[in-house]
Amino acid sequence: MATTCGLRTLKNEPVPLKSVSVEVDVQGHVASVNSTLQYENQESNPVEAIFIFPMDSNAAVYRFLARIGDVEIEAQVREKEKAKEEYDDAISSGQEAFLLEESDESSDVFRLSVGSLPPGQTASVTVGYVSELAVQADHALRFCLPAVLNPRYTPPGSSSMTTEASPQAGDVPYTLSLTMNIYTPSFVQTVESNCPLTPLAFLSQDKTQAKVSLAPGHRFDRDVELLLYYSEPHQPMAILEAGQPGVQSGSLMGDTVAMLSFYPVIEAEKSSHVASSGEFIFLVDRSGSMECPMNQNSGDKSRISSARDTLLLLLKSLPLGCYFNIYGFGSKYESFFPESVEYTQATMESAVEMVKSMEADLGGTVILPPLKNIYSKPCLPSHPRQLFVFTDGEVGNTKEVINLVKSHAHSHRCFTFGIGEGASSALVNGMAEGGSGHPQFITGSERMQPKVMQSLQYALNPVAKDIAMKWNIPAEVSVTPLSPPVNVLFNLKRVIQYFQLTGQNASNMSSSVSLHYIVEDKPFENKISLNLKPDADNRYWAWTIDVLVRPKRAVELSIQSGVSSSYTAFIGVNRENKEPVQGPLQRRLMAARRLFTFASPYDSAPSSPQQIGTMTALLRTPHQSVCQPKEPEDPMMELIGLQRADGSWDLQQSLASILGKQEEEVVKASPGKPEFSSVWATVLAVLWLYGHKAESRDEWQFVATKAMTWVRAQSGIELFHSFTHIHIH
């Protein structure tokens, strides 16, 4: 069962963390964050405090500052092993030292070590980082401050940074203050959150600058999520940043860097047959932790229940003529069919019944074997492979999984869905980016279905070809790409590219850059006008270091730029204190940063006979502590569940009941002949969706489109034409 874990010592004593304060500056779709933790050593001996905490995998840490009393220590970036050696030497000699490093297993887990803090001493550490804001299905930009760190499943004999923090029951003993300042070219419409906010305050008359804060006294007991809605969410954008003063021109840090944001239009013609092709493989996490609720609220749906509903909707939304299969994985894996099968009424019905019986009963989270099995099967000619992965992300070998997906990027596209608070952003983002797909995160009370339908729309889009960047700039300016080439585009999905500009001066020279591509033999262009005068250096591009260059070069650039990478770490030592700290050093392990942990007894690897016995007892008894009472059937899902694979509905009492009628009433009201009853039933079902579930159109749009395509295809049917005034498209 999920438990919360506040900051605790190894003696299960509360950690004396006083407060957490966060300042966020958002410029367009990029956030610059400064997070400060204040604490005090209330023990009689000096302590070494170890924090294990989550961070967005796309974030780049560019600043690490520590304050001890009146002394301020600006940490420096060093090669990781050298930084560790310097830290160990410092605390061994009684010096106060700080070390911040990224996990070797996953880019979304960090360890902060605070060494030799004297008794009674207060200290604070500030971590500064930048991150891109993810675009949601409703076009909102999502900022998340993670509070949940799920222990990643680690097989016996292996180790993981997340397993260092053993979860203990307890309340979060501190509050969080958070202020966000927003600057955007288009005005801010609103800001929403899963936590109480102060009223949105506009700082300019055109509403392009705004400020919002968490309500005072907020207890940091959940992920903090803010959704930003702009008036023009798809407006292309360019940000130019000047090189660092004093750095030689021609180096990465010495010249201007441009960050360009495009929103390509990729839409299929109505006559396109792309929707009838494709192999859709759904890989679903069935580990024990999927029984946990979507968030802390025990009344919320379980993760596996939400996944079941989503799979049923996907099965009804697939087009005739495609192929599909469904895998479930945990400590072992199983598939519905030995090979992908053609989508027919019979295979759909069989899959629906198996989905309804899916439970979170397969143990730990081991995703590599089923992925290898999927990739071992040959792709089907004329049916591009589309892989949909649903997981709560508690995977220990994240980098190995991502590398496997990357190695098969030429044969498929990978769409990922992180379910529940604490899902590994490194895994979810990394698999999608490596597989030329799109990641989604579903937290709190969000419905999974709209986000999955957006990804299905991406998967059904025609493929863009001949993707190229074209510049219209003065001849004396040279452009060097810093990002990997764009190899995939999705409709209105943001594309970020980074370039280095050399040779331009500070004048206001007007130029432009365009993204060119071809869709179904038709050329398209996405153009951005830009001023070559750079803005102030905000380091918004800095997190690209890891993916731009090979490890040796990454270390050099990371040290040069002062931005941490997976090969480096921040190290700070208080050299102002000439007197070594006296007394035996006590090591205190803090479970997480802000900080509590979700854990599941079904996902962990047992390490002792007592633990094995406990887990055996749990698995032999009903999951009363985590299973939710059976929820009443959603009438929309009930209606969709009655749809046939070809898109039609049969006229039957179960359909009539959803419509609020008796079957006889529906039959009597039919304007057509009895043999056309399925057409009548299908039209009524679609009308019900438009009339009663208009707010959920993103979820049933494929279902309705397939239905009306079927109606129009019925020869001799005039029934549909009498309903053209309803404007169903």
Identity of the residue numbered 329: F
Considering the domain architecture, whether residues 60 and 184 belong to the same structural domain is answered as: yes
Residue 156 and residue 63 share a domain: yes
Sign of CA dihedral 447, 450, 451, 452: positive
Is the Cβ–Cβ distance between 499 and 257 less than 8 Å? Answer: yes
Q: Is the pLDDT assigned to residue 607 strictly greater than 90?
A: no
One domain, residues 256 and 196: no
Angle formed by the axes of helices 448-460 and 303-317, nearest 10°: 40
Percent of the chain with pLDDT over 70: 78
On the question of pLDDT at 438 being above 80, the answer is yes
Q: Do 216 and 256 fall within a single domain? A: no
Do 193 and 68 sit in the same domain of this protein? yes
Residues of the chain with pLDDT > 90, as a percent, come to 38
The answer to whether residue 688 is domain-embedded is yes
Q: Within a domain: residue 626?
A: no
Q: Give 482's pLDDT tier (boundaries 50, 70, 90).
A: confident
CA distance linking residue 584 with residue 86, whole number of Å: 20
In a domain, 713, yes or no: yes
Nearest Cα to Cα of residue 241 among 250, 251, 253: 253
Range of lowest pLDDT (6-10, 193-197, 215-219): 6-10
The residues that bridge with 299 in the sheet, in sequence order, are none
Domain presence at residue 41: yes
Give the C-alpha distances (Å, rounded to integers) separating 230 from 132, 235, 495. Answer: 15, 10, 17
Average pLDDT in the chain: 80
Q: Would you say residue 378 has pLDDT above 80?
A: yes
Domain range for 281: 274-460
For the stretch 637-665, pLDDT in tens is 999 999 999 999 999 999 999 999 998 88
In a domain, 378, yes or no: yes
On whether both 441 and 307 belong to a single domain, the answer is yes
Q: Does 177 lie in the same domain as 154?
A: yes
Between 139 and 389, where is the model more confident?
389
Q: Which amino acid is it at 591? A: A
Residue 202 shares a structural domain with residue 247 = no
Asked if residue 625 is part of any domain, the answer here is no
Asked if 633 and 309 touch (Cβ cutoff 8 Å), the reply is no
Rounded CA separation 712/703 (Å): 15
User: Amino acid letter at 274?
Assistant: V
Residue 688 in tokens: 């019900």
Please tell me the total count of domains within the chain: 4
pLDDT at res. 271: 42
Each residue of 42-80: pLDDT tens digit? 778 887 777 777 888 878 888 899 888 788 888 999 999
Q: Distance (Å, rounded) from C-alpha 700 to C-alpha 681?
A: 17
Q: Which residue type sits at 413? A: R
Residue 713 burial class via C-beta count within 10 angstroms: exposed 0-12, middle 13-18, buried 19 and up: exposed
Residue 66 lies in a domain: yes
Residue 201 sits in the same domain as residue 249: no
Q: Are residues 218 and 107 in the same domain?
A: yes
Cβ–Cβ < 8 Å for 157, 243: no
On whether both 256 and 156 belong to a single domain, the answer is no
- Supply the CATH number for residue 119's domain: 2.60.40
Residue 680 contacts residue 672 (beta carbons within 8 Å)? yes
Q: Is residue 595 part of a domain?
A: no
SS3 517: strand
Residue 227 shares a structural domain with residue 293:
no
